[in-house]
Amino acid sequence: MMLSLAIRHRFAGFTLDAAFDAPAGLTALFGQSGSGKTTIINAVAGLMRPDQGRIEAGGLVLSDSTTGRFLPPHRRSLGYVFQEARLFPHLTVRQNLLYGRWFARGRQGAEMARIVEMLGIGPLLLRRPGALSGGERQRVALGRAILSNPRILLMDEPLAALDEARKAEILPYLERLRDETGLPILYVSHSPAEVARLATTVVLIDAGRVTAAGPAGAILSDPATAPLLGLREAGAIISARVEAQEGDGLTRLGTAAGPVWLPQVDAAPGTALRLRILAQDVMLARTRPEGISALNVLAVTIRDLTPIGDSGMLVRLEAGGEALLARITRRSATALGLAPGQSLYAVLKAVSVAPGSVGIGSVS
Ligand SMILES: Nc1ncnc2c1ncn2[C@@H]1O[C@H](COP(=O)(O)OP(=O)(O)OP(=O)(O)O)[C@@H](O)[C@H]1O
């Protein structure tokens, strides 16, 4: 299943001109406020008719300006999750979940049981939305969207109304949805941390245009992405696998760049993980450092150097086929004589990778 979109639309003072493909997995639409993300979601949903262009989902043409085809929203088989859960307050959770099934193309009770289990909402089925936390309400909204048997899931900032604790609670469920349903998920977000944690594909939108689109690992480690994310949020995501829980509370992970130790990661050996490593947390050394406290020393090669800000340098590194990003000062880059192709050591403190930066799944 794939969503393909190429549309143009003019509002007074704003032109959207966007084209991208969203394969199975989670495609994050990331851009500043007013860049056109919601307009794209509305065009896919059929809430707005683009002046020009075509949108196709899983072989079904949703709209095409050359043929004049424009399917109304209720015939598009899409699932939506918005900032606010928008559940029916007078219905129980179970009735809310079943409501979407009026529009479904025939799914059975086993499917309902599977989704209820996947989202951990079994104990909530007889409650009404007023008796749920914000995070629980959003999980029910996710369940309702999936049970409507959609071709695609559209999520417009589904975590934006939740506090940090509730966000952390819901992220693993979004990971399961992404990895277990095989549906394309189009996910609007303002949050670099959310994009890094969840996205398999990233589409960057700036002033109505797509400035970059592609696999999350490549887009996030591209120095050109850093100004859009904000320098403190710039960083790479790499794949890892849990190798062992060690006696002193550390978990050993295997990565293409070598072993990495982090404070305990609650996952069984063999579990595939994605690690977000912020550029500002990576130190560089010409020789393998000794006598330092940092546990993780990775052999890397410099791919390119990009000056950033008044005094900074972003160094894109390669390690066993994966990209890493380091942010250092230009003074250090000069002092170390850094140049593309050079072999170096990247140093990462185990404790600098926050628990929220460790997700389940693979990078793309
Ligand atoms: N119906 C409309 N009529 C005129 N202008 C509109 C309309 N809808 C959106 N716009 C304009 O189009 C631009 C893009 O809006 P859009 O809501 O898609 O941005 P966004 O990236 O989703 O922003 P945010 O993150 O704040 O939700 C804005 O300048 C907005 O004012």
Which of 220, 251, 267 is where one domain is finished? 220
CATH number at residue 178: 3.40.50.300
Q: Which range is most confident: 33-37, 74-78, 313-317?
A: 313-317
| Residue of 292, 283, 300 lying closest to 340 (CA atoms) | 300
Q: Are residues 161 and 264 in the same domain?
A: no
Q: Are residues 205 and 352 in the same domain?
A: no
How many other C-beta atoms lie within 10 A of the C-beta of residue 347? 19
Ligand 1 centre to CA of 34 (Å) is: 5
Ligand 1 centre to CA of 16 (Å) is: 10
24 domain residue, yes or no: yes
230 domain residue, yes or no: no
Q: Are residues 170 and 270 in the same domain?
A: no
Q: What is the pLDDT of residue 108?
A: 58
Alpha carbons 41 and 362: distance in angstroms, whole number = 26
* pLDDT exceeds cutoff 80 at 105: no
Q: Are residues 209 and 261 in the same domain?
A: no
Range of the domain at 7: 3-220
Residues with CB under 6 A from ligand 1: 11, 14, 31, 33-39
Ligand 1 probe mutation, 7, 9, 10, 11, most atoms within 8 A of CB: 11
157 domain residue, yes or no: yes
Q: Are residues 24 and 171 in the same domain?
A: yes
Q: Are residues 120 and 242 in the same domain?
A: no
Section 151-164 average pLDDT: 89
CATH number at residue 353: 2.40.50.100
Ligand 1 centre to CA of 33 (Å) is: 8
Q: Are residues 205 and 266 in the same domain?
A: no
Closest residue by CA, ligand 1 atom 18: 36
Q: What is the pLDDT of residue 103?
A: 47
Q: What is the pLDDT of residue 277?
A: 96
Alpha carbons 307 and 180: distance in angstroms, whole number = 41
225 domain residue, yes or no: no
Residue 191, sorted as left (phi over 0), alpha (psi -120 to 50) or beta, turns out to be beta
| Residue of 223, 238, 251, 233 lying closest to 313 (CA atoms) | 223
* C-beta of residue 184 within 8 angstroms of C-beta of residue 110: no
Section 176-192 average pLDDT: 91
Q: What is the pLDDT of residue 101?
A: 65
Q: What is the pLDDT of residue 111?
A: 78
Q: What is the pLDDT of residue 134?
A: 86
Q: What is the pLDDT of residue 145?
A: 87
* C-beta of residue 203 within 8 angstroms of C-beta of residue 23: no
Q: Are residues 176 and 253 in the same domain?
A: no
What pLDDT, in 10s, does the model give residues 24-62?
999 999 999 999 999 999 999 999 999 999 999 988 999
Q: What is the pLDDT of residue 135?
A: 86
- In sign, the C-alpha dihedral spanning 300, 301, 303, 309 is positive
Counted domains in the chain: 2
What pLDDT, in 10s, does the model give residues 194-252?
999 999 999 999 999 999 999 999 999 999 999 999 999 999 999 999 999 998 999 99
Look up residue 54 and give its two tokens: 């075509």
pLDDT band at residue 162 under the 50/70/90 scheme? confident
Q: What is the pLDDT of residue 287?
A: 95
226 domain residue, yes or no: no
* pLDDT exceeds cutoff 90 at 262: yes
156 domain residue, yes or no: yes
338 domain residue, yes or no: yes
Closest residue by CA, ligand 1 atom 24: 33
Of residues 1 and 36, the one with the higher pLDDT is 36
Which of 220, 255, 287 is where one domain is finished? 220
Q: Are residues 207 and 253 in the same domain?
A: no
Q: What is the pLDDT of residue 315?
A: 98
Measured in degrees and rounded to the nearest 5, phi and psi for residue 260 equal -130, 130
Ligand 1 centre to CA of 169 (Å) is: 30
Q: Are residues 335 and 199 in the same domain?
A: no
67 domain residue, yes or no: yes
Which of 156, 185, 220 is where one domain is finished? 220
Q: Are residues 179 and 246 in the same domain?
A: no
* C-beta of residue 28 within 8 angstroms of C-beta of residue 213: no
* pLDDT exceeds cutoff 70 at 264: yes
| Residue of 297, 285, 274 lying closest to 336 (CA atoms) | 285
Q: What is the pLDDT of residue 85?
A: 76
Ligand 1 centre to CA of 50 (Å) is: 13
Q: What is the pLDDT of residue 363?
A: 85
